[in-house]
Structure 1
Amino acid sequence: MRAEQPETIAAIVAAHRAGTVTPAQTIARSYQRIRDHNDPAVFISLRDEKDAIAEAEKLAARKDTANLPLYGVPVAVKDNIDALGFATTAACPAFAYTPTHDSTAVKRLRAAGAIIIGKTNLDQFATGLVGVRSPYGIPRNSIREDLIPGGSSSGSATAVGAGLVPLSLGTDTAGSGRVPAMLNNIVGLKPSLGMISTAGVVPACRTLDCISVFALTVDDAALALSVMAGPDQADPFSRDRPLGALTRLPPNLRLGVPRNGQLIFFGDKKAEAAYGEALKRWTSLGATLVEFDLEPFYETARLLYEGPWVAERYLVIRNLLASAPDAIHPVTREITAAGARLTAAETFAALYRLQGLRKIAERTFAHLDALVLPTAPTVYSTAQVLANPIELNSRLGTYTNFVNLLDLCGLALPASMRPDGIPFGITLLAPAGHDAMLASIGRVFHADTKLSVGAKGVAQAPLAPLPAGSGDEIPIAVVGAHLSGMALNGELKALNGRLIEATKTAPDYKLYALQTTPPKPGMLRVDAGRGAGIELEIWALSASAFGKFVNAIPAPLSIGTVRLADGRSVKGFIVEPEVLADARDITAYGGWRAYMAEKATA
């Protein structure tokens, strides 16, 4: 393919909107690349090409494509995540079923304009970090064919690394969204637990699972996360965790690095040297490196497979273990069967210890912005892992197994290409809810490496400028009387507020006319796709002005997180639902201006 053809999500969407490339052409290119790549182990099921192209053509005919943040982007989905039109196998044919609807995450991707083209291979039941535990074969590593692809999200990571799709979904319980990212020279984003709904996901450890994102750049991964993030009544583990916006690199960034002698590389001197070079890069970017005690994190990691969380994996397949044990991969069977022997007393003892370790982690982060660790301590060939499947797999989880147990978010970044042609990566870790901060600093690091993205030698584009208001200013979305020219707009101007842009919400909101003086609307968030795009303006206020403005907002209005049509999230006006019984639903007007204009002429 020609070098000028778009590779990243940002470039693809821009080309579609400009009309230089059509969504149908992008989908056709993905299928051609899949044929050229010629690895049947990447996808477990692949959508009919004509069907996918027809969807792309139908999408292009819509009138609202400007509001679709993933307009025409081809996406691959790990085959333990439900997608309508595909069987869900979890890489076990005897377990396979046909879902009746999309998982919540896939539903939100489709609503944003993405086109699902296939379901990818994985370590069976998402148990493994190696990518070799599947009856559907072993996907080829996109960088070096002798290396493992990494797991459990092996197919999803190799699909992005090989340039077959610019975006894929994985899952991450113990590192499955991070280790394969490093091994394929791509970005792996592991969000805060509960940020993306796991409704429609075959669980590995249900209390620890999350859907992860593979992309070529941090900005692409952050965009995909913003599209999928948000609470979901269908998932009891879902949490309302606002994503926040990307910001500039903070001037006093403090990154935690393990104390001298605590790092483990299993004798891999090249990996050790690559980590040292990554730390030098952070220093050159202005970060201050602060030592911390890694031992409590190691202890937490040991709990994952030595403690009661193995019983969660057992719960998923216990019926299959009893009825058809030979249908399960022998390594998966050996690991999972141990969960049946754990007692309630052992479970509570582990929970008590974990709570203590969480408190230690809290104290560690009290004076740090993030930790920076190797994504994995070393890399192995497929032959090595097949000869020693459990021990080598365990080694790969050295710096990943503790993350979800401690309720951290993570971002795996390419850091360098070693002299032996093996990719090396680092992972940034922070407490839950700091996903945007990790993306903000991670995008700068990745760009500074000047590495090509994936395996195709595609150069990184310059970092996109951040939206206005991303520095010391705070953006706020207004939908009613504070709009330009409306009754209360002067309150924003009196605080030196400045208009950034006019845009719309995602189609997830309803608008009501409240009985107030002066007239004001109330905007209510509803289920994804069940509302409409509401017109709004984004204004920027200084931090102090923002505080004054918010403090003066009267009930029943308040400030919450508003999702925009392009996938971003911003603070903005929302309404308490209990006051809407006597309010008029004016959603059909699409915004407060249109409603007030009609009212003025009535």
Structure 2
Amino acid sequence: MNGLPEKLTRNWLREQYLKKTANPEQVVTEIIERAKATADMNIWIVPPDMDLIRPYLERLAGLDIKNAPLWGIPFAIKDNIDLEGIKTTAGCPDYTYLPSKSAAVVKRLIDAGAIPVGKTNLDQFATGLVGTRSLFGETHNALKEELISGGSSAGSAVAVAKGQAAFALGTDTAGSGRVPAALNGIYGWKPSCGAWPLSGVVPACASIDCVTVFCHSLADCLAVDQAVRGQEPGDPWSKDYPVPSVRKPAYIYLPEEEPEFYGPFAKEYEQAWYKAVGRMTHIFPEIKRIDTALFAKAAAILYGGPWIAERWADLHHFVEAHPGSVLPVTEKILRSGADYDAASLFQAIHELQSIKAQIRTILNEGVLVMPTCGGTWTREQVRQDPIRTNSDMGRYTNHCNLLDLCAAAVPAEDAADKLPFGITFFAQAKNEDLICGASELLIK
């Protein structure tokens, strides 16, 4: 169709549909063409295709747009989340299976009128924050193709940034729903763990996994949240959290220490951070500085402690039965989980519980702000040093789910031309409305 904007949003599409100046089939047709034109960016594992999408277009005739909040809105699905009748690979061809039903979050979105358009590329088994660990190719950054896209929800973020979906589902264990948002200049919403059901999602660390969404606005993120939030019968991880409202936090907390920056654009990122701090200081008079050593201590437990054993517990049968099927860097990380015993796990649980109690007191009714990422890398640099570069990307993200925090990754002023910079608001699980309030104030 003529006049489809480069960036697709729920509000714009809904307005066009209501005015009958566009229809979903026209939008989907354009998305298919956009996906074909960027095939070398490795965004998709199952790309947009009319045969896949047609049944979802046809079912719209039976839905009243006024009662279906996501009517005709195209969305992408990370390929570790099931879509009925479409293969799930988790970034590993030999792992492929054909699900008989959609994941709970996908079903709820379809029931709200949304249209799944394809399955997106990811770091294999959601193990990585760079977007280069896939047998389906390295996902390119949406703005500078030589840079990483971020991961593990690589294709989902880039699909949104490139106008091939209005929103996209990702997952987040260590930052996979936030890092790609920052690197591609979009929003990443990570609800409280359990607020969105996990049934039909290939586990990374099931006890701290979370389904997330990428959008061009906080409002779009929250529209998706409202459609999918709520307990799911038979899902042992789902919890009953209320739909977040918008509430101003009592305090904004900034790190007392100077954040560390890394990569070829470290100086640009550092300058962007201080610009963001200056803006926040102007917007939020109730700013306090806190020592974030506890957050860093919790973050170190994720990959430097026994939680990696949870990944190994879920995947070791497949890895051992399919030699050569898993990327060497991914297999090395997964196998490290076999090095921990039950005693070390309980020691870590007890240490983490103490940290969580302290952080509950620190945050209370406040919101912590950190850079989403302290830098980025070229894809070539990641190839040369895959472990260290990936580890750097999680410096300000790894603590989140272990500490049972919610988070919103929000674009800030760009670090340089075609080099997005983002910040993340963190709050306790019960305080999602505070990160909404902080994000809304920053956007204004």
**Alpha-carbon separation, structure 1, partners of 2:257 and 2:5:** 46
Q: Is residue 297 of structure 2 the alignment partner of residue 299 of structure 1? A: yes
What residue identity is the alignment partner of 2:426? L
**Secondary structure of 2:413's aligned partner:** strand
Q: Matched residue of 1:176: which SS?
A: coil
| Contact 2:195 2:239 (C-alpha < 8 Å) held by counterparts | yes
Pick from 335, 339, 342: which aligns with 1:341? Answer: 339
Distance in 1 (CA, whole Å) between partners of 2:338 and 2:185 is 38
* Structure 2 counterpart of 1:65: 65
In 1, distance between residues paired with 2:98 and 2:56?
21
**Residue in structure 1 matched with residue 194 of structure 2 by the alignment:** 194
Tell me if structure 1 keeps the 8 A contact 2:6–2:162.
no
Structure 1 residue 424 and structure 2 residue 421: aligned? yes
Whether 2:374 is the aligned partner of 1:373: answer: no
Deviates more, 1:34-43 or 1:302-311: 34-43
In 1: Cα distance, 2:83 partner to 2:56 partner: 15
State whether structure 2 residue 401 is matched by structure 1 residue 400.
Answer: no
Q: Which of 425, 431, 434 is the equivalent residue of 2:431? A: 434
The separation in 1 between residues aligned to 2:107 and 2:233, in whole angstroms, is 14
- What is the Cα deviation at residue 253 of structure 1? 4.4
Does residue 163 of structure 1 match 2:159?
Answer: no
* 1:438 CA drift (Å): 1.3
Given the superposition, is the C-alpha separation of residues 161 and 5 from structure 1 closer, same or farther in structure 2, using an over 3 Å criterion? closer
Moved over 6 A (4+): 3-6
Deviations 1:521-572 (A, max 9, x none): xxxxxxxxxxxxxxxxxxxxxxxxxxxxxxxxxxxxxxxxxxxxxxxxxxxx
Correspondence for 1:212: 212
User: In the alignment, which of 399, 411, 415 is matched to residue 414 of structure 1?
Assistant: 411
Equivalent residue for 1:493? none
Measure, in 1, the Cα distance between the counterparts of 2:319 and 2:7: 46
Residue 95 of structure 1 corresponds to 95
Structure of higher RCO (CA pairs closer than 8 Å, 6+ residues apart):
2
User: Which position in structure 2 is the counterpart of 1:588?
Assistant: none
Cα distance 1:382–1:290, how it changes in 2: closer, same or farther (>3 A)?
Answer: same
Which residue is 2:180 aligned to? Answer: 180
Aligned counterparts, 1:213-228, within 5 A? 213-228=213-228
Q: Given the alignment of the two structures, is residue 361 of structure 1 paired with residue 356 of structure 2, yes or no?
A: no
The Cα offsets for residues 486-516 of structure 1, whole Å up to 9 and x where unpaired, read as xxxxxxxxxxxxxxxxxxxxxxxxxxxxxxx
5 Å matches for 1:268-279? 268-279=266-277
Q: Give the letter for the 1:199 counterpart.
A: S
Does structure 2 conserve the Cα–Cα contact (< 8 Å) formed by 1:257 and 1:372?
yes
Q: Is the 8 A contact 1:181 1:188 kept in 2?
A: yes
Instruction: Provide the C-alpha distance between the structure 1 equivalents of 2:416 and 2:215, rounded to a whole number of angstroms.
Output: 24
Question: Contact 2:262–2:376 at 8 Å: present in 1 too?
Answer: no
Aligned CA distance change for structure 1 residues 280 and 292 (closer, same or farther; 3 Å): same
Residue 133 of structure 1 aligns to which amino acid in structure 2?
R
Q: Secondary structure at the match of 1:319?
A: helix
The structural deviation recorded for 1:30 is: 1.2
Residue number among 317, 320, 326 corresponding to 1:319 in the alignment = 317
Which stretch shows the higher mean deviation, 196-205 or 62-71? 62-71
> Which AA in structure 2 matches 1:276?
Y
In structure 1, give the amino acid aligned to 2:174. Answer: A
**How many angstroms apart in 1 are the aligned matches of 2:347 and 2:325?**
33
Q: CA deviation at 1:180?
A: 0.4
User: Normalized per residue, which structure has more helix?
Assistant: 2
Q: What does residue 119 of structure 1 align with? A: 119
Measured after TM superposition, the shift of residue 51 of structure 1 is 4.6
Q: State the one-letter code of the partner of 2:335.
A: A
Conservation of the 8 A alpha-carbon contact between 2:252 and 2:366: yes
- Secondary structure in structure 1 of the residue aligned to 2:411: strand
Q: Which residue of 2 aligns with 1:265?
A: 261
Distance across 1 between alignment mates of 2:34 and 2:58: 20
- Residues 412-436 of structure 1 show CA distances to partners (whole Å, capped at 9, x for unaligned) of 0110112353111000000002223
In 2: Cα distance, 1:363 partner to 1:141 partner: 39
Q: Using a 3 Å threshold, how does the CA distance of structure 1 residues 5 and 152 change in structure 2: closer, same or farther?
A: closer
Distance 2:40 2:19 in 1: 33
Deviation at 1:37, TM superposition (A): 2.5
Tell me by how many angstroms 1:15 deviates: 1.6
**1:18 maps to what in 2?**
19
What's the CA shift for 1:40?
A: 5.8
- SS of alignment partner, residue 435 of structure 1: helix
User: Is 2:312–2:337's contact at 8 Å kept on the other side of the alignment?
Assistant: yes
- State the Cα distance separating 1:42 from its structure 2 match: 0.9
Cα contact 1:253–1:287 (8 A) shared by 2: no
What's the CA shift string for 1:309-352, capped at 9, x where partnerless?
Answer: 10111012111221123100110000110111210110011011
Match runs of 1:224-235 below 5 Å: 224-235=224-235
Q: 1:42 maps to what in 2? A: 43
Whole-Å Cα distance in 1 between the matches of residues 49 and 267 of structure 2?
46
Q: In the TM superposition, what is the alpha-carbon distance from 1:273 to its structure 2 partner?
A: 1.4
Whose Rg is larger? 1
- Between the aligned partners of 2:345 and 2:6, the Cα distance in structure 1 is 53
Aligned equivalents of 1:348, 1:285: Cα separation in 2? 43
In the aligned structure 2, how far is the partner of 1:330 from the partner of 1:118?
A: 27
CA deviation string 1:25-65 (max 9, x = no partner): 11112112112223361111135314524532441x22522
Gaps of 5+ in 2: none
- Provide the C-alpha distance between the structure 2 equivalents of 1:217 and 1:28, rounded to a whole number of angstroms: 24
Q: Secondary structure at the match of 1:433?
A: helix
**Cα deviations by residue, 1:81-117 (Å, 9 ceiling, x for unpaired):** 0111211110111111111101100000000001111
Question: Is this contact kept in 2: 1:182–1:375, CA < 8 A?
Answer: yes
Q: Distance in 1 between matches of 2:439 and 2:241?
A: 20
Q: Any idea what SS the aligned residue of 1:403 has? A: helix
Find the residue that maps to 2:137 and give its secondary structure. coil
Q: Distance in 2 between matches of 1:21 and 1:6?
A: 15
C-alpha displacement at 1:266, in angstroms?
Answer: 3.2
- In structure 2, the CA distance between the partners of 1:4 and 1:174, relative to structure 1 (3 Å rule), is closer
- Aligned positions, number: 441
How much does 1:285 deviate?
A: 2.0
SS at match of 1:434: helix
Deviation at 1:163, TM superposition (A): 1.0
Contact 2:7–2:216 (Cα < 8 Å) also in 1: no
Shift in Å at residue 5 of structure 1?
Answer: 8.3
- Mapped contact 1:69–1:113 kept (Cα < 8 A): yes
Structure 1 pair 63/164, CA: closer, same or farther in 2 (3 Å)?
closer
Note if 1:30 corresponds to 2:31.
yes
Compute the TM-score of the two structures, normalised by the length of structure 1: 0.71
State the secondary structure of the residue aligned to 1:75.
Answer: strand
- 1:2 aligned onto 2:15: no
Q: Quote the offset at 1:398 in angstroms.
A: 0.6
Give distance in 2, aligned partners of 1:172 and 1:95. Answer: 20
Alignment partners' CA distance in 2, 1:337 and 1:260: 35
Q: Secondary structure at the match of 1:169?
A: strand
Kindly indicate which of the two structures has a greater share of residues assigned to strand: 1
1:28 touches 1:53 (CA, 8 Å); kept in 2?
no
Decide which moves more: 112-121 or 9-18: 9-18
Q: Given the alignment, which residue of 363, 385, 391 partners 1:388?
A: 385
Residues 444-476 of structure 1: per-residue CA shift (max 9 Å, x gap): 323x4xxxxxxxxxxxxxxxxxxxxxxxxxxxx
Q: Partner letter of residue 167 of structure 2?
A: L
Cα distance in 2, alignment partners of residues 11 and 421 from structure 1:
24
